[in-house]
């Protein structure tokens, strides 16, 4: 049995999802992979919980207790820090970089929010610091990889550590790890529906003949679109994911700024109808070919094409030299789905190292 000590940096939906999955799957992962996953540090803007500070004498955090405290505290209107302290969990005044550097652990799970405007910070610094300290990195944060892919990969190589980033694209849909599944193939181009919110809006517009604003409002009401939907509907999120795929699967050295981006805000029910009557649907497609041209724009997709997936689903088509075209479809979002991808990365790193 190999002990794998994790820090979780950023304790929002994804970070909590990771602890939730560890809670549910720990025994199974021990048995199947011989890995004992222990959370030794959780850090967010409100401070840090460490293995030695949760009131137990053991060498790991009681994640049940932490999740429970946060949930109860929230119901009582408390802040995360208040929630934890009220339930007897000590919160240290340590910041993320300090935790990454000082607390002994094997893999840093970087789950802070994506921010491409801020040069991918604080994620980029977290990742570089973790590698410098000899820790593997698994992340759901798209910013660092969409802006500094080669730099991060080189840092990982120098440190002889790995960066897992399956969770950055397509949530639980396996796509980065298809590199392994398609070993021996050259991937020639990628075409994908990489944003579930846009796909949901376009699906509803087409099904119900709704204008864009109406479908967006509906998506916001049921929690599929965010209050500020710009990053999704303007195509930014798709562009960021496209760049990560292009770098990881096609070996490019592109940045998010290299993508030509058009969103879905100008699409009308009339355009969708016209497409429909000719056997097509309109989808927001992120696309890259061997020449490295990166584009995000609404495109016609034949109704019978495997990329024509509806609702919040994501889909990607990889063109390869031997295996022909491969399409993969899955749920693009959700805390548990992203956590599933993160835990998969952790398992793959420690099985093969």
What residues line the site for a second copy (CB under 8 A)? 21, 25, 28-29, 33, 166, 171-174, 177-178, 180-186, 304, 306, 308-310, 313, 315, 320, 322-331, 334, 336-337, 339-341, 343-344, 346-348, 351-352
Q: What angle do CA 249, 255, 256 make, to 5 degrees?
A: 100
Q: From CA 138, how far away is CA 291, in angstroms rounded?
A: 29
| Three-class DSSP category at 6 | strand
What lies within 8 Å, CB to CB, of 331 at 6+ separation is: 171, 172, 173, 196, 312, 313, 314, 337
Give the nearer residue to a second copy in terms of CB position, either 116 or 169. Answer: 169
180: buried, middle or exposed (CB in 10 Å: 19+, 13-18, 0-12)? exposed
Sheet holding 107-110, edge to edge: 47-50, 35-44, 2-9, 107-110, 136-139, 163-164
Q: Which is nearer to a second copy, 18 or 219 (CB)?
A: 18
> How far apart are CB 176 and a second copy at their closest, in Å?
9
Euclidean distance between CA atoms 346 and 344, whole angstroms? 5
Closest to a second copy by CB, 271 or 336? 336
Looking at 191, 241, 283, 299, which residue is catalytic?
241
Question: What does the block give as tokens for 75?
Answer: 């119901």
Residue (28 or 93) nearer to a second copy, CB: 28
Instruction: Indicate the residue among 81 and 348 with the shorter CB distance to a second copy.
Output: 348
What is the separation, in whole angstroms, between the first and last Cα of the chain?
14
Q: Among this protein's residues, is 32 annotated catalytic?
A: no
Joined together, the tokens standing for residue 164 give 């897992």
Q: How far is the CB of 248 from a second copy (least distance, A)?
A: 14
Instruction: Indicate which residues carry an active-site annotation.
Output: 241
């Amino acid at each position: 049995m190999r002990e794998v000590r994790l820090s979780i940096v950023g304790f929002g939906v994804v970070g909590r999802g990771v602890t939730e999955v560890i809670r549910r799957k720990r025994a199974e992962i021990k048995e199947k992979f011989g890995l004992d996953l222990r959370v030794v540090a959780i850090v967010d803007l409100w401070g840090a919980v460490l293995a030695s500070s949760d009131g137990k004498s053991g060498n790991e955090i009681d994640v049940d207790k932490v999740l429970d405290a946060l949930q109860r505290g929230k119901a009582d209107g408390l802040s995360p820090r208040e929630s934890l302290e009220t339930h007897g969990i000590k919160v240290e005044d340590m910041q993320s970089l300090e935790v990454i550097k000082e607390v002994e652990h094997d893999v840093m799970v970087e789950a802070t929010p994506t921010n491409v405007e801020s040069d991918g910070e604080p994620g980029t610094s977290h990742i570089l610091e973790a590698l410098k300290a000899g820790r593997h990195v698994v992340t759901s944060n798209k910013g660092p990889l969409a802006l500094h892919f080669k730099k991060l990969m080189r840092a990982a190589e120098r440190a002889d550590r790995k960066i897992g980033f399956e969770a950055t694209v397509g949530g639980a849909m396996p796509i980065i790890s298809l590199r392994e599944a398609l070993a021996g193939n050259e991937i020639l181009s990628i075409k994908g529906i990489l944003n579930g919110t846009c796909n949901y809006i376009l699906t509803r517009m087409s099904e119900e003949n709704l204008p864009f604003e109406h479908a967006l409002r509906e998506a916001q009401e049921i929690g599929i679109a965010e209050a500020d939907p710009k990053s999704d509907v303007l195509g930014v999120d798709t562009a960021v994911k496209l760049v990560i795929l292009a770098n990881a699967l096609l070996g490019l050295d592109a940045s998010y700024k290299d993508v030509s981006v058009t969103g879905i805000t100008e699409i009308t029910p009339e355009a969708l109808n016209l497409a429909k009557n000719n056997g097509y649907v309109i989808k927001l497609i992120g696309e890259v070919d061997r020449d490295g041209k990166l584009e995000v724009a609404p495109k016609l997709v034949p109704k019978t094409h495997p990329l024509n997936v509806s609702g919040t689903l994501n889909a990607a088509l990889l063109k390869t030299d031997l295996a022909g075209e491969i399409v993969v479809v899955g749920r693009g979002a959700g805390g548990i789905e992203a956590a599933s991808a993160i835990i998969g990365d952790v398992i793959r790193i420690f099985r093969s190292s």
